[in-house]
């Protein structure tokens, strides 16, 4: 929802503001570059103007531009707005026009903020709120409705941001993902199986500025084409959040290894497979100059993810293994998957076979696991990683 004659989108970023001047400038540069790439990918046009702690996108497509900004990492919120003269009269007129266009009954509030020197305007933000509020009240009455103010939780909220040279009137703050602009951290490898969790985990690292290198481990007869297609579909969604970056899915074979583990190992085989995956992911990281591995594990969600089993899995890796979902509940992860758009693909039935044994170990001992797993497990992981297939993700 935006006021009539909206011509700009206000883009707010959060954590960048607390960085040193030099770091902040670099991150804002990157954010502007990423916004530009996001607009280009969606065929949108807009001129990005950078000001302290805000970006302004001047555009004739404020709705679509605000949506694109709200999908860009580092953006806390975006508001399609109308620019007016920084005078009480102009602001009131814009508030009245917005009310006439969008008021649909219920309570209202005017929320105003002023930026710049204290003597920049002959009025305070409270004057905008009281006089603007009175103008909105009269407008609602002229629409033959009963006005009522609720400052805490109104049905209809009008915002004003008054700066030295212009004021902006808007009706909503569309929530963005927050975090840091993509590309402001070194890349990490993401182990993506295409289930609900791992794409969310990858997305969370992207939201902290890390480009991801997705690795899918092909389980042969235990996975299958639908399983792989599911992983690819979720990676395509992840790629839509990184329009300026080239993304490829690295496919590491594990068909023969899984068959061997199934034949030779008992209740520890799932953990051996996890360790194989981590070592393969590390090998990919090394060749892609990535500095960590991200997985979708959460403590206790599965038998392979008890705190004890995560400890023995982790022992296979020397790079840091990032588990951003570690302490999250499944319901919250699922909600996030829906929000980022990976849920639908993640839940298609792939008909794959179960690698996990009937009674898996939940409290594994590292020495017992090392003794039970094939001695060449890590060597095979590195060899299969080297021979991996790289599938470019088209957009």
Residues that bind ligand ATP (CB under 6 A): 191-193, 195-198, 215-217, 219, 277, 295-297, 302
Shortest distance (Å) from residue 329 CB to ligand ATP: 14
Rounded Cα distance, 387 and 256, in Å? 14
Residue ranges at the known binding site: 191-192, 274, 296, 305
Is 195 in contact with 217 (CB distance < 8 Å)? no
Shortest distance (Å) from residue 378 CB to ligand ATP: 17
Rounded Cα distance, 230 and 193, in Å? 8
Q: Give whichever of 237 and 295 is closer to ligand ATP, judged by the CB atom.
A: 295
Shortest distance (Å) from residue 193 CB to ligand ATP: 3
Shortest distance (Å) from residue 198 CB to ligand ATP: 3
Q: What are the Cα distances from residue 113, in Å, to 162, 299, 329?
A: 6, 44, 37
Q: Furthest-apart CA pair in the chain: how many Å?
A: 82
Q: Give whichever of 82 and 230 is closer to ligand ATP, judged by the CB atom.
A: 230
Q: Give whichever of 209 and 296 is closer to ligand ATP, judged by the CB atom.
A: 296
Q: Give whichever of 113 and 390 is closer to ligand ATP, judged by the CB atom.
A: 390
Q: Residue 249: CA atoms inside 13 Å, Cβ hemisphere, count? A: 26
Q: Give whichever of 65 and 192 is closer to ligand ATP, judged by the CB atom.
A: 192
Rounded Cα distance, 356 and 45, in Å? 50
Is 45 in contact with 59 (CB distance < 8 Å)? yes
Residue ranges at the known binding site for ATP: 191-192, 274, 296, 305
CB atoms within 10 A of CB 150: 13
Rounded Cα distance, 262 and 90, in Å? 74
8-state DSSP, 146: -
Shortest distance (Å) from residue 372 CB to ligand ATP: 19
Q: Give whichever of 14 and 224 is closer to ligand ATP, judged by the CB atom.
A: 224
8-state DSSP, 244: T
Phi, psi of 231, rounded to the nearest 5 degrees? -60, -45
Shortest distance (Å) from residue 197 CB to ligand ATP: 3
């Amino acid at each position: 929802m935006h006021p009539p004659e909206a011509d700009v989108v206000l883009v707010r970023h959060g954590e960048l503001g607390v960085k040193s001047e030099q770091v902040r400038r670099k991150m804002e540069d990157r954010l502007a570059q990423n916004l530009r790439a996001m607009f280009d990918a969606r065929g949108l046009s807009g001129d990005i103007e950078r000001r302290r702690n805000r970006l302004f996108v001047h555009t004739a497509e404020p709705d679509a531009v605000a949506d694109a900004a709200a999908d860009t990492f580092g953006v806390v919120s975006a508001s399609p707005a109308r620019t007016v003269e920084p005078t009480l009269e102009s602001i009131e007129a814009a508030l009245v026009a917005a009310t006439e266009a969008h008021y649909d009954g219920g309570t209202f509030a005017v929320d105003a903020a002023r930026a710049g020197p204290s003597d920049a305007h002959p009025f305070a933000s409270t004057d905008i709120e009281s006089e603007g509020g009175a103008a909105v009240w009269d407008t609602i009455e002229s629409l033959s409705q009963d006005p009522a103010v609720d400052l805490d939780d109104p049905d209809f909220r009008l915002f004003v941001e008054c700066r030295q040279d212009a004021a902006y009137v808007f009706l909503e703050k569309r929530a963005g993902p927050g975090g840091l602009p993509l590309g402001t951290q070194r890349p990490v490898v993401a182990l993506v199986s295409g289930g609900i969790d791992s794409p969310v985990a990858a997305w969370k690292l992207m939201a902290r500025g890390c480009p991801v290198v997705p690795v899918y481990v092909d389980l042969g007869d235990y996975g299958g084409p639908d399983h792989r297609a599911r992983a690819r579909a979720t990676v395509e969604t992840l790629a839509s959040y990184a329009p300026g970056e080239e993304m490829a899915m690295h496919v590491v074979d594990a068909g023969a290894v899984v068959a061997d583990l199934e034949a030779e190992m008992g209740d520890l085989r799932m953990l051996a497979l996890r360790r194989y995956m981590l070592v393969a992911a590390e090998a990919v990281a090394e060749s892609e100059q990535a500095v960590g591995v991200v997985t979708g594990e959460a403590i206790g969600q599965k038998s392979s993810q008890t705190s004890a089993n995560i400890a023995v899995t982790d022992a296979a890796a020397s790079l840091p293994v990032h588990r951003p979902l570690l302490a999250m509940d499944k319901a919250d992860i699922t909600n996030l998957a829906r929000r980022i758009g990976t849920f639908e693909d993640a839940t298609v039935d792939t008909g794959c076979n179960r690698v996990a044994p009937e009674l898996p170990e939940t409290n594994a001992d590292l020495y017992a696991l090392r003794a039970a797993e094939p001695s060449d497990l890590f060597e095979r992981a590195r060899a299969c990683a080297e021979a991996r297939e790289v599938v470019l993700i088209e957009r």
